Amino acid sequence: MEHSEIAFAKLNLALHVRKRRDDGYHDIETLFAFVQDGDVLTACPANELKLAIHGPFGTGLEADNNNLVLKTAFLLKSHFGVTQGAAIRLNKKLPIASGIGGGSADAAATARLLNRLWGLEASEHELVDILAPLGADIPACIFSRPSFGSGTGTALTFLEDSNISARHVLLVNPLQSVSTAAIFKAWRGMDGGGVHRGDIWDAAVKGRNDLEPIAAAICPAIADILRHLSRANPVFVRMSGSGATCFALFNDAESLQTARATLDPEWWSMASALR
Note the pLDDT tens digit of each residue in 187-229: 999 999 999 998 999 999 999 999 999 999 999 999 999 999 9
Distance CA 273, CA 249 (A): 9
* 10 is an active site residue: yes
- The DSSP call for residue 134 is G
Angle, alpha carbons 247-248-249 (nearest 5°):
130
pTM beyond 0.75, yes or no: yes
Distance CA 275, CA 268 (A): 21
Nearest of 188, 180, 179, 246 to residue 13 by alpha carbon: 246
* 185 is an active site residue: no
Question: What is the pLDDT confidence band of residue 160, given thresholds at 50, 70 and 90?
Answer: confident
Domains, the chain: 3-158 (3.30.230.10), 168-273 (3.30.70.890)
| Set 10, 71, 77, 92: catalytic member | 10
Mean pLDDT of all residues belonging to the chain:
96
- The DSSP call for residue 175 is S
Asked whether residue 16 carries a pLDDT value surpassing 90, the answer given is yes
Asked whether residue 166 carries a pLDDT value surpassing 90, the answer given is no
Please answer whether residues 273 and 163 qualify as being in contact, where contact means their C-beta atoms are separated by less than 8 angstroms.
no
Q: pLDDT over 90 for what percent of the chain?
A: 95
How many Cβ atoms from other residues are within 10 Å of residue 254's Cβ? 10
Question: What is the pLDDT confidence band of residue 40, given thresholds at 50, 70 and 90?
Answer: very high
| Set 39, 106, 137, 210: catalytic member | 137
Distance CA 50, CA 110 (A): 12
